[in-house]
Structure 1
Amino acid sequence: MQFAHLADTHMGYRQYGLTERENDFFEVFDQAIEEIIRERPDFVIHSGDLFEYSRPPTRALLTAQKGILKLKEANIPIYAIAGNHDVVMRKNALPPQILYKDFGLKLISPNQPFYTVGDVFIGGAPYASKYHAKQLVERLQTIEKSSLDYGKRILVLHQGIDRYIPYEYEIKIGDVPQNFNYCAFGHIHERVVDDFGEGKLAYPGSTEIWRSNEVEGYRKNGKGFYLVDISGDMPEIENIDLKLPREFIKETIRYSELQDELNRIKEYTNSLQRKPILMVTVEGGNFNRSEVYETLNQSLSETCLAVRSNYRPTAIKEDENPFEKGKEALDIKKMIEHNLKDFNSEKVTELGTGLLKELSDGDFKAAETIAHNFYEDLYDH
C-alpha cells in the first residue's frame, strides 16, 4: 500500500508582497496534485499548513478545491490536519479545510481523531502550541491505544520536535508514541527522515521556499513530497521532487569588485525564463549602504523579481571596539531573558523571546499566534 505525504503548501502566501510569489505557491501546489495523480497512490496525507492564513484569500480556496476535486475524480482520498497557519484562534472554531468535506477531504480533528482504511489506521491531531503540549500528549496516548488492533499505523501531526528545532519546539521526541509504522509530520520546512520506534518519522518539508534560509536545504534535498510504501516491515520512502517556478540566488560579493560582479549577475539573470529572487551580501570596504542599495536595485531590477540585500562592511578592529574588552557582544535574547526573570515565569520569558524571533523574521502571523496562545492559556487558568 502506498500513499503520498506532503505538508506546508502555504497557499495564499504573498512573499515579499509580490503577486508573482503568491502565484508560484499556487503553481507548485497544482504541480504536486498532478504528480500525485501520476503516481496513483492509495491515498494522500497532508500534514498541515495547507494555507498561509486561517482565513485564506479566495484564489487559495479555489486552488485547493480544484486540486482536491482532481484527487476525488482519480479516486484518491486525502486525509489532512490543521497546521498552526490554518488554525483559527478562537475556541471551537473550524479550520478552512472543513470546507472540503464534501469534496473528499477527510479532516483529522479532536472530534474525528482517526480513520481506518482496511487494516490501516490513520490518526492524529491538529497543531498545538507549546502551552498546550500537555493536552496534546494526553490526546496522543488515547490515539495510540486506539491504533493497537491495526496492522499498519500512521500518525499525522504538525509539530516541532526538540530533536530538530531545540529552541522552538512544541513537544519532545519522548512525547511521540513509538508504536506507529510511519509518523507523518509537518511544520519543519526541511526534509527529514529518521528511524523511530517501529518505523519512520518524516517531514516532507514545504513545497516552496517560504523563507530565504530554506535555500541551502532546497539545493541539497529539493522540494516536494514523499511517496511512502508501507507494504513491508519497514516503510520505503521515495522523494518526489517538484520544479520550482523561479530560482532563488544567493551571492556574496566584494565591494571592491561591485560593478564587475553586478555585470556577471545581470548576465546570468537575464538568461533565465523567469525573473529570480536575488539575495546578495556585499562585504569588505567602507561604503555607504544606501548608495550600494541604490546601485544594486538600479542594476538588477530589470532582471530580478526582487533584490534582498545584506551588508558586511570591514569589521572594526579589536582596539577600536567601543565596548569593553572581554565582554560579550550584545545578545538581545539574553537581555530579554534577564529583564523578564523578575516575573518568575518561564512562559512569560518564552513569550518575550518567541515574539523577538518571529518579529525579527517579519513573521507577524506567527507572532500573533504566540501572543494569542499565551493569553488564551493565561485565561484558561
Structure 2
Amino acid sequence: MQFAHLADTHMGYRQYGLSERENDFFEVFDQAIEEIVGERPDFAIHSGDLFEYSRPPTRALLTAQKGILRLKEEKIPIYAIAGNHDVVMRKNALPPQILFKDFGLKLISPRNPYYLEGDVFIGGAPYTSKYHSKQLVERLEGIEKSSVDFDKRILVLHQGIDRYIPYEYELKIGDVPQSFNYCAFGHIHERVVDDFGEGKLAYPGSTEIWRSNEVEGYRKNGKGFYLVDISGDVPEIENIDLKLPREFVKETIKYSHLQDELSRINQYISNLPRKPILMVTVEGGNFSRSEVYETLNQALSDSCLALRSNYRPTTVEDEKNPFEDGKEALDIKKMIEHNLKDFNNQQVNELATGLLRELSDGDLKTAEDMVRNFYEELYDH
C-alpha cells in the first residue's frame, strides 16, 4: 500500500509582497496534485500549513478546492491536519480545511483524532503550541492506545521536534510515540527521514522556498513530497521532486571585481526562463553601502523579480578575529532575551525573537499574525 505525504504548501503567501511569488506557490501546489495523480497512491496525507494564513485569500481557497476535487475524481482520499499557519490559536477555532469536508478532505482534529483507510490507522492532532505540550502528549497517548489493534499505523503531526530545531521546538522527541510505522510530520521546511521506533519519522519539507535560508537545502535535497510504501515491515520512502517556477540565485561577489561580476550575473539570469529572486552579498574593500546599493539596482533590478542585497565591507574591526579575546560574536537573540528577563515570561521572549526573525525577513504579515495569535491566546485563558 502506498500513500503520498506532503506538507507546508503555504498557499496565499505573497513573498516579498509580490503577486508573482503568490502565483508560484499556487503553481507548485497544482504540480504536486498532478504528480500525486500520476503516481496513483492509495491515499494522500497533508501534514499542515496548507495555507499561509488562517483566512486565506479567495484564490488560495479555490486552488485548494480544485486540487482536492481532482484527487476525489481519481478516487484518492486525502487526510489533513491544521498547521500553525492554518489557524488562529484560540479555543474552538476552526481551520479553513474544514471547508473542504464535502469535497473529500478528511480533517484529523480533536473531534476526529483518527480514521481508518482500509486496515490502516491514520491518527494525529493539529498544531499545538509549546505552552500546551502537556495536553498534546496526553492526546498522543490516547491516539496510541486507539491504534494498538492495527498492523499499519500512521501518526500525523505538525510540530517542531527538539532533535531537529533545538531552539524553536514544541515537542520533545521522547514524547513522540514509537509504536507507529510512519510518523508523517510537517512544520520543518527541510526534508528529513529518520529511523524511529518501529518505523520512520519524516518531514517532506515545504513545496516552495518559503524563506531564503531554504535555498541551500533545496539545491541539495530538492522540494516536493514523499511517496511512501508501507507494505513491508519498514516503510520505503521515495522523493518526488517538483520543478520550482523560478530560481533563487545567491551570489557573493568581491567589491574589487564589482562591474565584472555584475556583467556575469546579468549574463546568467538573462538565460533563465523566468525572472529569478536574486540575493547578492558584496564583500571586501571600503565602500559606501548606499552607492553600491544604487549600482546593484541600476545593473540588476530590471532583469530579476526581486533583488535582496547584503554588504560586508572590510573595516579595521572586520580584520580582527572576533573570538581572539574570548568574547562571543554579537547575538541579537540573546540580547533581546537578556533585556526581557524582568518579564520572566518565555512567551514574551519567543514573541520578541520571532518578530525579529520575521521582520528581518520582510514578512510583515506573518509578524502581524504572530502578535494577534499571542494576544488572542493570552486573553483566551
Shorter-chain TM-score bucket reads: over 0.9
Please state how far the C-alpha of 1:185 moved relative to its aligned partner. Answer: 0.4
Call closer, same or farther: CA 1:23–1:32 in 2, change over 3 Å. same
Return the alpha-carbon distance in structure 2 between the equivalents of residues 288 and 208 of structure 1.
35
SS in 2 for 1:127: coil
Work out whether residues 129 and 373 of structure 1, in 8 Å CA contact, stay in contact via their aligned partners in 2. no
Counterparts in 2 of 1:327-342, with a 5 A limit?
327-342=327-342
Correspondence for 1:183: 183
Please state how far the C-alpha of 1:345 moved relative to its aligned partner. Answer: 3.6
Correspondence for 1:273: 273
Correspondence for 1:58: 58
Please state how far the C-alpha of 1:370 moved relative to its aligned partner. Answer: 4.5
Work out whether residues 28 and 244 of structure 2, in 8 Å CA contact, stay in contact via their aligned partners in 1. yes
Return the alpha-carbon distance in structure 2 between the equivalents of residues 303 and 371 of structure 1.
36
Return the alpha-carbon distance in structure 2 between the equivalents of residues 318 and 120 of structure 1.
58
- 1:151 and 2:161 are equivalent in the alignment: no
Return the alpha-carbon distance in structure 1 between the equivalents of residues 112 and 313 of structure 2.
56
Q: Count matched residues.
A: 380
Counterparts in 2 of 1:225-244, with a 5 A limit?
225-244=225-244
SS in 2 for 1:294: helix
Counterparts in 2 of 1:164-313, with a 5 A limit?
164-313=164-313
Return the alpha-carbon distance in structure 2 between the equivalents of residues 21 and 122 of structure 1.
33
Work out whether residues 89 and 377 of structure 2, in 8 Å CA contact, stay in contact via their aligned partners in 1. no
Correspondence for 2:128: 128
Please state how far the C-alpha of 1:38 moved relative to its aligned partner. Answer: 0.4
Normalising by structure 1, we get a TM-score of: 0.94
Please state how far the C-alpha of 1:131 moved relative to its aligned partner. Answer: 1.1
Return the alpha-carbon distance in structure 1 between the equivalents of residues 113 and 318 of structure 2.
59
Return the alpha-carbon distance in structure 2 between the equivalents of residues 318 and 292 of structure 1.
19
Correspondence for 1:316: 316
Provide Cα deviations, 1:324-352, integer angstroms capped at 9, x if missing partner.
96644443222222223233344443343
Counterpart amino acid of residue 353 in structure 1 = T
Return the alpha-carbon distance in structure 1 between the equivalents of residues 330 and 218 of structure 2.
32
Counterpart amino acid of residue 266 in structure 1 = N
Provide Cα deviations, 1:43-66, integer angstroms capped at 9, x if missing partner.
000000111111111111111111
Return the alpha-carbon distance in structure 2 between the equivalents of residues 19 and 185 of structure 1.
29
Return the alpha-carbon distance in structure 2 between the equivalents of residues 176 and 253 of structure 1.
45
Counterpart amino acid of residue 28 in structure 1 = V
Provide Cα deviations, 1:201-226, integer angstroms capped at 9, x if missing partner.
00000000111100000000000000
SS in 2 for 1:36: helix
Work out whether residues 178 and 196 of structure 1, in 8 Å CA contact, stay in contact via their aligned partners in 2. yes
Counterpart amino acid of residue 110 in structure 2 = P
SS in 2 for 1:208: coil
SS in 2 for 1:160: coil
Structure 2 portions without partners, runs of 5+: none
RMSD between superposed Cα atoms in Å: 2.1
Provide Cα deviations, 1:127-150, integer angstroms capped at 9, x if missing partner.
111111111111111111111111
SS in 1 for 2:226: strand
Return the alpha-carbon distance in structure 2 between the equivalents of residues 89 and 38 of structure 1.
36
Work out whether residues 81 and 157 of structure 1, in 8 Å CA contact, stay in contact via their aligned partners in 2. yes
Return the alpha-carbon distance in structure 2 between the equivalents of residues 319 and 17 of structure 1.
37
Work out whether residues 255 and 282 of structure 2, in 8 Å CA contact, stay in contact via their aligned partners in 1. yes
Percent pairwise identity: 85
SS in 2 for 1:26: helix
Counterpart amino acid of residue 332 in structure 2 = I
Return the alpha-carbon distance in structure 2 between the equivalents of residues 108 and 256 of structure 1.
57
Return the alpha-carbon distance in structure 1 between the equivalents of residues 4 and 101 of structure 2.
19
The list of structure 1 runs, each at least 4 consecutive aligned residues, that deviate by more than 6 angstroms after superposition, is 318-321
Call closer, same or farther: CA 1:374–1:52 in 2, change over 3 Å. closer
SS in 2 for 1:31: helix
- 1:4 and 2:4 are equivalent in the alignment: yes
SS in 1 for 2:340: helix
Correspondence for 1:163: 163
Structure 1 portions without partners, runs of 5+: none
Counterpart amino acid of residue 188 in structure 1 = I
Call closer, same or farther: CA 1:319–1:11 in 2, change over 3 Å. closer
Please state how far the C-alpha of 1:92 moved relative to its aligned partner. Answer: 1.1
Counterpart amino acid of residue 149 in structure 2 = D
Call closer, same or farther: CA 1:233–1:320 in 2, change over 3 Å. closer
- 1:70 and 2:70 are equivalent in the alignment: yes
- Decide which moves more: 311-320 or 57-66: 311-320
